[in-house]
């Protein structure tokens, strides 16, 4: 009987460990959000988005306020059209807010950072952020540095 009880406890421990790994993998991959948080969509156009991906964080003052919902190429302007989903609780973001693509750490993932403007009017669903700054592409910077050194 005691051997059977030990086997049951070991089985429960292994099952809890596997469940923990599954939860951790879902959190890291960003797939844990089964249902979509209530929020509103805002668009922004960038000349170059670098390695920005869908589900990347959107933050303001270091606080995550949403995520990148969709990335498309605008066939007329040939710019990347980035659709951001801002959480509903952050509904007081000024309409003159600017957006830039940053990298977290030296080799980290890219995210969209918002800098608040000063207008009283706020962003709403379907609005556009007009002031944007594209991603800094490391290869382009190195190429510019090397060509300047040769001159």
Same domain, 70 and 87: yes
Same domain, 90 and 111: yes
148 domain residue, yes or no: no
Same domain, 72 and 95: yes
Mean per-residue pLDDT, 93-104: 95
Same domain, 78 and 20: no
- pTM score over 0.85: no
Same domain, 47 and 81: yes
Which structural domain range is residue 65 located in?
39-142
* pLDDT at site 124: 95
Mean per-residue pLDDT, 125-144: 88
Residue with tokens 């659709």: 83
Strands across the sheet containing 39-46: 127-129, 39-46, 80-87, 63-73, 57-60, 110-115, 98-103, 131-133
Same domain, 52 and 87: yes
Same domain, 79 and 24: no
Q: How many CB atoms lie within 10 A of CB 107?
A: 7
Mean per-residue pLDDT, 103-128: 91
Mean pLDDT of the chain: 90
Split into its structural domains, the chain has a count of 2
pLDDT tens digits for 14-73? 999 999 999 888 777 766 666 677 899 999 999 999 899 999 999 999 999 999 999 999
């Amino acid at each position: 009987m005691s051997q059977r009880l030990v086997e049951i406890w070991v089985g429960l421990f292994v099952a809890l460990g596997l469940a923990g790994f599954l939860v951790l993998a879902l959190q890291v991959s960003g797939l844990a959000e089964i249902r979509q948080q209530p929020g509103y969509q805002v668009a922004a156009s960038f000349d170059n988005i670098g390695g920005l991906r869908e589900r990347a964080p959107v933050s303001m003052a270091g606080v995550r306020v949403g995520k990148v919902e969709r990335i498309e190429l605008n066939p007329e302007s040939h710019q990347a059209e980035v659709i951001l989903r801002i959480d509903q609780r952050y509904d007081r973001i000024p309409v003159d807010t600017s957006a830039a693509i940053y990298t977290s750490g030296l080799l980290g993932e890219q995210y969209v950072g918002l800098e608040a403007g000063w207008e009283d009017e706020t962003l709403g669903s379907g609005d556009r952020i007009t002031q944007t700054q594209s991603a800094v592409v490391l290869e382009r910077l190195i190429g510019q540095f090397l060509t300047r050194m040769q001159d």
